[in-house]
Amino acid sequence: IRATDFGASTDKGVAADAYSEAGLPDSINLTWFRPFDDHYPDVARETSDFIDDLRLSILNDRLERRAKEAYSPVVAAEAGRDTVGETAEVTQLIVTPKPGQDKAALAAAYAMTRQFATYGVTPDELSRALADQEARFQAAVKGANTRESRHLADELHQQLFPAPPADAVGAAGRPPASF
């Protein structure tokens, strides 16, 4: 198989874009991209991903608490990460400001993100996040045994008796007599 070489990626610098339309709710998105990490998912990488998920969970708890404060310029804020195909890893901060408080909301959410990166988490925050994660794992384990028998039987049948190739199927939707 031949792979196309598109050359090395070049840094395009900082970019900003704005979109506005009547009736849209205010929302501010900050997005950071980095190259996709295609290393094999070994124990070290899985551990790193787990820790990143815990960090995001704790940061989102802080952002949610801040949004609930009466004097906060933020209605809602959330941080997240995702992978775009196998081309980039994306980290986002999404802020919904109170009307007329766009700059203050962005400044508050970004400041919380920077403080989080600088000072880390408290032992209480870590304990809560680990307990929440444990509860999600336990729920997944309990839910794993609830798959329907009919669905499992269909999966087994498809594995044991795969459908004939498309070119072997006759006009009536059945394999020809010589099949």
**First-to-final CA distance of the chain:** 33
Look at residue 14 and tell me whether its pLDDT is greater than 80. no
100 versus 8: which is more confidently predicted?
Answer: 100
In the predicted model, what is the mean pLDDT of residues 11-28? 79
pLDDT at 108: 94
pLDDT at 48: 87
Q: Residue written as tokens 């196998």?
A: 86
Q: If pLDDT is split at 50, 70 and 90, which confidence band does 178 have?
A: very low
Look at residue 164 and tell me whether its pLDDT is greater than 70. no
Look at residue 179 and tell me whether its pLDDT is greater than 80. no
- Cα separation, 89 vs 38, in Å, equals 10
**Per-residue DSSP letters for 54-118?**
HHHHHHHHHHHHHHHSTT-SEEEEEEEEEEETTTEEEEEEEEEEPTT-HHHHHHHHHHHHHHHHH
- pLDDT one-digit tens code per residue, 141-158: 887 766 667 777 777 777
- pLDDT one-digit tens code per residue, 72-125: 999 999 999 998 877 888 999 999 999 989 999 999 999 999 999 999 999 999
Look at residue 6 and tell me whether its pLDDT is greater than 60. yes
- Cα separation, 90 vs 30, in Å, equals 10
pLDDT at 147: 63
DSSP state of 10: -
Sequence-separated (6 or more) residues with CB below 8 Å from residue 109: 63, 66, 74, 77, 93, 95
pTM for the structure as a whole: 0.68
Q: If pLDDT is split at 50, 70 and 90, which confidence band does 4 have?
A: low
- pLDDT one-digit tens code per residue, 28-77: 888 888 888 877 778 888 888 889 999 999 999 999 999 999 999 999 99
pLDDT at 87: 82
Give the Å distances, CA to CA, from 113 to 3, 73, 92.
40, 15, 11
